[in-house]
Amino acid sequence: MTESIGSATAAPMMDIGTVTTPVTSVQDLSKAYYLTNVRLETGFVEEKRAWLDSPVITHTRTALKTLRIADGRIAEVLDATSVVPPGAAAYDAQGQLMLPTFRDMHIHLDKTFYGGPWEATLPTQHGRADRVAQEREVLPKLLPLAEEHTAAMVRLMHSHGTTVCRSHCNVDPVSRLGNLEHLKASLERFKDTLDAAIIVFPQHGLLASDSVGLMREALQSGGVSYVGGVDPTSFDHAMEKSVDTTVQLALDFNVGIDIHVHEPRETAIPAFNRIMDHMEKNKQLQGNVTFSHAYSLAELSKEELNDIAARMKALGVTLASAVPLGKGTMPLRELHEAGVMVICGTDSVMDWWDSFGNCDILQKAHEIARLEYRSTEYDINRTLGFATGFVTPLNDKGEQVWPKAGDEASFNLLPASCSAEAVARLPVRNAVFHRGKLVYGAVPKAS
Ligand SMILES: [Zn+2]
């Protein structure tokens, strides 16, 4: 029982040589330890093919390394042949690939059926009004179970390799600040294993549900990083006043903005531009505003998209997407290549808005790869960044840029030979580390 460290629930490993099945329960690693046989990407392999005029990238080169981890950081990256000092704590990554931790940057951790019995969404007669009506009924019933449900979602995130997230949290006339209080308490329980930022979210409409006072109370209570919002025209029926009030809240409490906009281009684009007008006047907002979903960007011509992307880039607007399938494909690649920061999230795991979320952000990169990229080694490799905040082992030129000594030791170990295989095949996450601490899975002791 002392030969490995981690959880007996870790999924069986595959493909990578002989792997010891871990048997112990989750426990702390030492503050300083060695991790041997870690597979790191070192570059691309370019080869000539008879039917092609010039060499092409066919594979990704990797090397086995030993890492020394101390005080939550990668202290040293050593050759695999380096001798671990006698008596030092050492664990064996068994040749598995190391990837940076995944980031779930749009999730609603405060409200879910997940953690309880299965519930699919109900059909609607009046669109989102029915979802809000259901929400009014369900929120008070769920509040006593909320911490348990949030904990189940965090464990699901951990099991998929995510240790950084940004969560919306309802502030509305039904739950008032109840969801926020429970979410703060829940996240406090996970403060050593999950970096989480909170967005206070007037789900029933900032103006439509007369929630400005509640939002002020929520922001006053502290621990909040962003003012949220939803559809200034279709929810609040007063785009300019809704946007201006949201911006004023952000300025008054010196926080960012992360606003849901599901509206069509006719109303969404003017709202985006009004927010960006405010950003031009208020430098403190620059680099601290996120447009969530923004489906309208999929309706734009190439030229229109280029124009708004240039403005978003100049002002540091981030685009958050749950990567919708079956609608107009979101131009996430185009936005990324235009220099806009693109982040991905689960949104709902299992609630009255959606039934499909699974907290697997690597799967979001996989979906973006399938929707917008070619299935080549290089293109699939490049999509990993959508899951990792664009912290990637290789840069666009194929130079190794991660991990370096001094980087935070937040990473996954997976049974894959390279990033492209990981994105394409979605292997299990066998060991998940946050700041040097094992938060899910297992690694055996090095022999
Ligand atoms: Zn959302």
**If you measure from the C-alpha of residue 263 to the centroid of ligand 1, how many angstroms do you get, rounded to a whole number?**
13
Q: What is the pTM of this model?
A: 0.93
pLDDT tens-digit readout, 381-438: 999 999 999 999 999 999 999 999 999 999 999 999 999 999 999 999 999 999 999 9
Buried b (16+ CB within 10 A) or exposed e, 48-71: eeeeeeeeebeebebeebbbbbee
**If you measure from the C-alpha of residue 48 to the centroid of ligand 1, how many angstroms do you get, rounded to a whole number?**
46
Q: Which domains does the chain have, with CATH numbers?
A: 4-95+393-444 (2.30.40.10), 103-359 (3.20.20.140)
**If you measure from the C-alpha of residue 125 to the centroid of ligand 1, how many angstroms do you get, rounded to a whole number?**
21
Confidence of residue 8 (pLDDT cuts 50, 70, 90): very low
**If you measure from the C-alpha of residue 151 to the centroid of ligand 1, how many angstroms do you get, rounded to a whole number?**
19
pLDDT tens-digit readout, 125-153: 998 899 999 999 999 999 999 999 999 99
**If you measure from the C-alpha of residue 292 to the centroid of ligand 1, how many angstroms do you get, rounded to a whole number?**
7
**If you measure from the C-alpha of residue 258 to the centroid of ligand 1, how many angstroms do you get, rounded to a whole number?**
10
For residues 230 and 235, what is the distance between their CA atoms, to the nearest angstrom?
7
Q: What are the C-alpha distances in Å from 254 to residues 224, 320, 391?
A: 10, 21, 27
Secondary structure of residue 399 in the 3-state scheme: coil
Confidence of residue 24 (pLDDT cuts 50, 70, 90): very low
For residues 198 and 253, what is the distance between their CA atoms, to the nearest angstrom?
14
pLDDT tens-digit readout, 87-113: 999 999 999 999 999 999 999 999 999
**If you measure from the C-alpha of residue 28 to the centroid of ligand 1, how many angstroms do you get, rounded to a whole number?**
34
**If you measure from the C-alpha of residue 431 to the centroid of ligand 1, how many angstroms do you get, rounded to a whole number?**
28
Backbone angles phi, psi at 65, to 5 degrees: -135, 165
**If you measure from the C-alpha of residue 79 to the centroid of ligand 1, how many angstroms do you get, rounded to a whole number?**
44
pLDDT tens-digit readout, 169-227: 999 999 999 999 999 999 999 999 999 999 999 999 999 999 999 999 999 999 999 99
Q: Which amino acid is at 76?
A: E
- Give residue 22's pLDDT: 41
**If you measure from the C-alpha of residue 358 to the centroid of ligand 1, how many angstroms do you get, rounded to a whole number?**
14
Statement: residue 18 has pLDDT above 60: no
**If you measure from the C-alpha of residue 106 to the centroid of ligand 1, how many angstroms do you get, rounded to a whole number?**
6
Quote the mean pLDDT of the chain: 93
